[in-house]
Every structure is written in structure tokens, then in C-alpha cells.
Structure 1
Amino acid sequence: MAADWQWENAAAGSAAGLATVSFTHPLDVVRTRFQANDGRLLHLPTYKNSPHALFTIARTEGLRGLYAGFYPAVLGSTISWGLYFFFYSNAKERYLRSREELTPGLHLASAAEAGALVSCCTNPIWLVKTRLQLQTPQQARPYSGFHDALRTILREEGWKALYKGLGPGLFLITHGAIQFTTYEELRKMVIRFRTTESEQSFNSDVNSLDSIDYAILGASSKLAAISTTYPFQVIRAQLQQRPTIKGIPRYIDSWHVAKETLRFEGFRGFYKGITANVLKNAPAASVTFIVYENVLNMLKLARRKDI
């Protein structure tokens, strides 16, 4: 029974991830280019704002530019969300064995544990996605696709290069932890409010929330996470850039990125692309949780009918 519940969470998470990335990928390309561009990259044009970036990429690179890195994004998002919800539900179940209800701290611990495991599993996929999104027609020796990028990175830089950006990626587990903790607590508050209002059983939460509720809760929790963790995303994107033709990386480590960003761009440099990020992730989080909760409810109902 417990195993069924965990795999239901994994399946719902994967479906949510696939729907989300398909809907929002062009904004992800814009965000990545803003994050990586410090004005010193000759092959990346400078954009005024997110709409200008979308228009420029569409005009100069076409649909292929707007969906650069789409395959690793779909693969990474589907795997990440599936693993995340699986690890997250598994951790929550483990903590619930010794108590009746999880505290906010245990929700945070569950989300952090899931985030760390997912980061270690999927960092190579996100590295390739970032590099493909940063390619333009002016790029020297471009990758032809996901598999070519993997082969080239392994041949030219070694397997360790696949884990560039893992450090800030692990710091970014606080993003998922903040998002899921906020989501769980807001969800609990809404259910309790409606339970008191309608005198329903607390365990009837499957039917007490609808898709609009999930959308609002998902967007709210995502905004809370973005506002606190965005600089780590900028640092990771900078570290994951492709080395120069001579094989020299632009940055040594996270501290080097932070110093150079502060030196050339000031504190604003740590929030490059945040508009595109919010435009992408707030509705994306809504889509994710709508799909996740509805698929999960559907799977639960199907399992009950089989029993």
C-alpha cells in the first residue's frame, strides 16, 4: 500500500513536470540567457527586457531558438519531478511513522532531502540544457543536440564537467524546500478553514480543494521560493557555461562568480532574468500542482476501485 502511494506520487510528479516544461520553455531560454550574460559574451546579444528577448530570439533564431535545449528540459523536468515527489513522499512517510502529523520543520527536512537526491541525479542533464540554451548562430563549434553535447563534454572536459554547478544546485534545494513547505502549510490552512466552515472531516481534503485552489497555492509558494533563492540560479548558470575555444572556463567556482558579478554588475547582477523567471515559474508552479494533485487524486480513486 505504501509503495503504491509513493509510485502514484512519482507518476503524478512526472506528468506535472512534462506539462510544465512544454508550456513555459521559451521563457526558460530567456531567463538562462539573462543569467549568463554579463555583457562580456560576444556570441550572446544584449536584450532590453523579456518581451524584447523573446521577439529577438524568434526573429533571428526562429522556433528552434525559443525551444533550444527542449529535449533535456523535458527529460530533466520529467525525471526531476518524478524523483522529487517520490523521495519527498517517501521521506514524509518515514517521518510520520513516529508521529501523527508533520511539523513545518519536518516538511522542510523532507523537501531538502528530496532536493539533494534529485540534484545529484540530474545535474548532467541541466548542464547540457543550459549550454544548449546559450548557443546562438554565432557560437563557435556548436553542439548538434543533447547526445552530441554529452559526448563532447566527456571528450573535451571529462566526467567531472557534468557536475559543474552542483554546489549552487545543492544550495538551491532550499528553493524546493521553501516552496513545498509553504505549499503544504498554505494548503493545510485552507483545508482547516473550509473544514471549520462546512464541518467536514479533515480527511476529506481530496475533495475540499479544486484546481483554482491548487493554482493559487502553487504560484504563491513558488514566489516565496524565488524571492529567497534566485542568486544561486544565476551563479549556477554562470558556472555551467561552455569553456572558451582554448578550453578555459570563465569561472573557477561559485565564489569567483559571486566576486566577478558583484564587481562588474553590482547586486542587480544576482537578479538578472528574474522577470522572465517569475513569468515562467509562477504560472508553471500553478500548472504543476494542478496536474500533480488531479493526477494523484485520479490514481487514488482508481486504486480504491481495484481494492
Structure 2
Amino acid sequence: MSDALINGLAGAGGGIIAQLITYPLQTVNTRQQTERDLKKERRKVGTIEQMCQVVQQEGWSRLYGGLMSSLVGTAASQGVYYYFYQIFRNKAEAIALLNKKKGIGDGSVGMFSSLVVAAFSGCLNVLMTNPIWVVVTRMQTHTKKSQPSCTPVLAAMEPPLYGTSHAIQEVYDEAGVWGFWNGVLPTLIMVSNPSIQFMLYETMLKKLKQRRAANKKDDNVITALEIFLLGALAKLGATVVTYPLLVVKSRLQARQIIGGDKRLHYKGTSDAILKMIQYEGFHGFYKGMSTKIVQSVLAAAVLFMVKEELVRGARWLLTKNSVHSRRSRPP
């Protein structure tokens, strides 16, 4: 099994676990980002209060709306990302070693190269998985009002449960096949988020390893807790920088037909940005940011920790099996 495949599968596994833990926060955050009420006097609702409101008005299930599609998207995204990231990383390391032989550099992958590697991986990931996230956004922002029917006739008239097929049909009816790539431009620009995240992560990890080596400690293995903290810090920095793009992306991917108010309809990325500035001000680009910081930092930290442990375990198993097969061969 190649190292790229090991990293791809480990990334998918880590992403699924992180998603399961933080999904209710993600659902609330998507609703906060796509809230387009233009009334300035509306009272702000905190994350916990909004979660309670969703449970009371729509039931616990709505906090997990689109979970299965999201898990598929997470597994696909993390698998694709880490697979190509490792391939590009290996090529960058080979180039760095070749340059060292020529007397250029110290043989390690620099910060700029790490950024380019992450950017290429992110672009491929976005183009391949954007349709999944459009469907997930629709399912997360779909609301079900709690209006219990008093008669069997009214109960029979209630709409069916909103599922994946309904979201897919809704997107297609609105914009055709290209509707599944709504928000792809800000998402491609947002490749800078994981790029910054991985650049910060790799840089901090490299510094930590160098410090361990300089101290000449016998046990220089990076622990799972240290990976957790490095992942959290890297994601925090990336999220603060790129959050406005995330809000624009969510607005474009959410349902556009809202009460016929043209101020709430976005024709594209530039139209969304201009209307948000005109009608909501710059603070509109930071709606739900505190929720996103908690969710994304926690998810990234869990993902990094689980992924590194899975990679370490897979390599140990492969090494063990390789040794065992060599010993079992007849002389």
C-alpha cells in the first residue's frame, strides 16, 4: 500500500470522526451564515440558544440534517485531499533533496512549497466534491416549522421529510447541472484556508521536531496531544483569515428563492459580496464566526490527531506483516 493511499484513507477516517463530533455546531453555523434577515433590530441569538431553538421547534434530527451526505462529502474530501497532498508532498521533497545535491537549500520543503502543495491538493478536492457540499448546505439550512396538525386532513397535507433526493432536485430545478457548482469560485479561493492551515501545521511541527532534536531527548516522538494542539492552532489562524469567503460560499449554495426580495437573491460571487456590503455592512461577513471557530478548530484538531494515529498504526501493521512474511519464507 502506497504512502499516499495510507494518508488518504487515514484522512477520510479522521474526517468522519471529527464530523460526527462537531456536526450540530456545523449545522447551526451554516444557518447563522445564511441568515439574511435585514432587520437591524433583531436580537442576536447565541449558539447554544439557537441549538435549543432548533431542538424545540424542529426536533433533534434537524441538528443532524444532511449528516449522511456530509459524511460522504467529508470522507471524499479528506480522502482526495490527503491522497493528492501526499503525492505532491513527495514530489516537493524529492525536488528539495535534488536541489540540496546541487548546493541549493537544506533539503527540506520550505514554507512556500508547502503552501503550493496544499493549494494544488485543495483545488482538485474542490472541483471534485463541490456538488456534495451544495446538497449538504441545502439540507442543513432547510427548516421544518413545528406546527402540529389538529386534523388528519391537515396532517396528510404536510410536506414529506426533506431528504437528499429533495435537495438534489431543488438544486437542479433552480440552476440545472451547473447549480451543483454554485459557490465554487469563493470555495476555490478558500483553498487558501487549508493551505494556510497546513502551512502553519507543517511549520510548527517542523519547529517542534527541531527543538526535540536539539535537546537530544531519547523520546522524540510527537504525542497525540501535541498533534491535537498544533492542528487546533493551525486551523484557528486559517479560519480567522478566510471566514468572509466561507459566508459568501454558504449564501450562494443555500436556497435563493426567499420571499421574492431581490436583495436576498445572489446571481454570483461579486453580486453576493456587493449586496452584503450594501444591505448588511461588513459585519455580515462575520456572522456566526465564533461558532465556526469552535467547530472548525475542534474538528481540525480531532482530524489531525486521529489521522496521525491511523497512519502510524497502518505503517506499523505493514512493517510487522513485511517482517513476518520474510521470516516465513523457506530458506
TM-score strictly above 0.5: yes
The alignment status of 1:137 with 2:149, answered yes or no, reads: no
User: In 1, are the aligned partners of 2:38 and 2:279 still within 8 Å (CA)?
Assistant: no
1:98 maps to 2:100 = no
In structure 2, what is the equivalent of residue 183 of structure 1?
A: 201
Deviations 1:25-62 (A, max 9, x none): 01001110111112159xxx975111111111111111
Q: Which of 310, 313, 317 matches 1:298?
A: 313
Q: How does 1:1-307 map to 2 (within 5 A)?
A: 4-40=2-38, 48-100=45-97, 101-138=108-145, 144-199=162-217, 208-244=221-257, 250-307=265-322
Shift of the alpha carbon at 1:142? Answer: 7.5
Two-structure CA RMSD over aligned residues (Å): 2.3
Alpha-carbon distance between aligned partners in 1 of 2:125 and 2:221, rounded to the nearest angstrom: 31
CA distance in 2 between counterparts of 1:246 and 1:61 reads 21
Conserved? CA contact 1:47–1:53, under 8 Å = no
Aligned mates of 1:292, 1:58 — CA distance in 2: 32
Amino acid aligned to 1:230: Y
* Contact 1:135 1:142 (C-alpha < 8 Å) held by counterparts: no
SS in structure 2 of the partner of residue 184 of structure 1: helix
Structure 1 unmatched ranges of 5 or more:
none
Alpha-carbon contact 2:58-2:145 (below 8 Å) kept:
no
TM-score by length of 1: 0.91
Contact 2:258 2:265 in 1 (8 A): no
> Residue 114 of structure 2 aligns to which amino acid in structure 1?
H
Shift of 1:150: 1.6
- Matched-pair contact (CA < 8 Å) for 1:132–1:145: yes
Which 4+ stretches in 1 moved above 2 angstroms? 138-144, 151-157, 245-249
| CA deviations over 1:81-140 (Å, ceiling 9, x no partner) | 111110101101112222222111110001000100000011111001111111111499
Question: Counterpart of 1:132 in structure 2: which amino acid?
Answer: M
Counterpart AA for 1:169: T
Distance 1:143 1:93 in 2: 47
Determine if contact 1:244/1:250 at 8 Å carries over to the other structure: yes
CA distance in 2, matches of 1:265, 1:122: 30
Q: How far off its partner does 1:143 sit? A: 6.8
Q: CA deviation at 1:245?
A: 7.6
How many residue pairs get matched? 297
